[in-house]
Amino acid sequence: MQEETTSIDMLVEQAKEGNQQALEAVVRSIQDRVYNLALRMLQVPADAEDAAQEILVKIV
């Protein structure tokens, strides 16, 4: 887990510097977790998809 965190931290830093591929990798690495959390909270798949998309758009 520590190695994964370090890798994500590096990707976030690269994304902040404008690296589009790093940004895409960050989004890919968290999108399932964001969706699953939204689904647990909202309990409606369509609402969870909408919420996850809104969250991911905001971080971009």
Instruction: Read off the pLDDT band of 60 (50, 70, 90).
Output: confident
* pLDDT of the residue at 28: 96
Query: What tokens were used for 36?
Result: 């699953």
Here the contacts of 7-10 (C-beta below 8 Å, separation 24 or greater) are none
pTM over 0.85: no
CA distance 10 to 27: 13
Spans of all domains in the chain: 2-59
With beta carbons less than 8 A apart as the criterion, state whether 57 and 49 touch.
no
Instruction: Read off the pLDDT band of 18 (50, 70, 90).
Output: very high
Q: What angle do CA 40, 42, 45 make, to 5 degrees?
A: 85
